[in-house]
Amino acid sequence: LKDTWTMVTFSFNSSTKVGKMYFNGELMKSFDFNLWPDGDNKQTVTGLYYAGQEPDVVNELAFGFIQSRAGTLWDSESWGGYDFPGANHFKGQLDDIKVYHKTLTDDEIRLMYESEE
């Protein structure tokens, strides 16, 4: 995918508790939160929410890296600091970021890709 325009799409259906990841309209991975062990909090997921505890994790949306630049959680790891040469975080441009208030179907995601390519 290096140096190539790629449409990356994530979806989550709170009724079925299934998340999906697509590259260029093609399903790459599914995450079924029902498969976690009984009693695990991941079985109660109903949407996306993020709450870190400063200074380790700062409540800021971060694209392309595991956490906000201000977070210190993995600073002792060679890959964990945002400015570390070995961090291997996303180094590129993001364009046309869209958030929908519904779960897109496989067909809707495929059609979006076909209309953008």
Provide the domain count of the chain.
1
Residue 58's CB is within 10 A of a number of other CB atoms, namely 16
Domain range for residue 37? 8-116
Those residues with Cβ within 8 angstroms of residue 18's Cβ, 6 or more apart along the chain or in another chain: 12, 30, 31, 32, 33, 34
The pTM of this model reads: 0.67
Tens digits of pLDDT across the chain (117 residues): 678 889 999 998 888 889 999 999 999 999 888 888 888 877 777 666 666 777 887 877 777 776 777 888 878 888 777 777 777 777 778 888 898 989 999 999 999 999 987
Is residue 46 situated within a structural domain? yes
Is residue 41 situated within a structural domain? yes
Is residue 2 situated within a structural domain? no
104: left (phi over 0), alpha (psi -120 to 50) or beta: beta
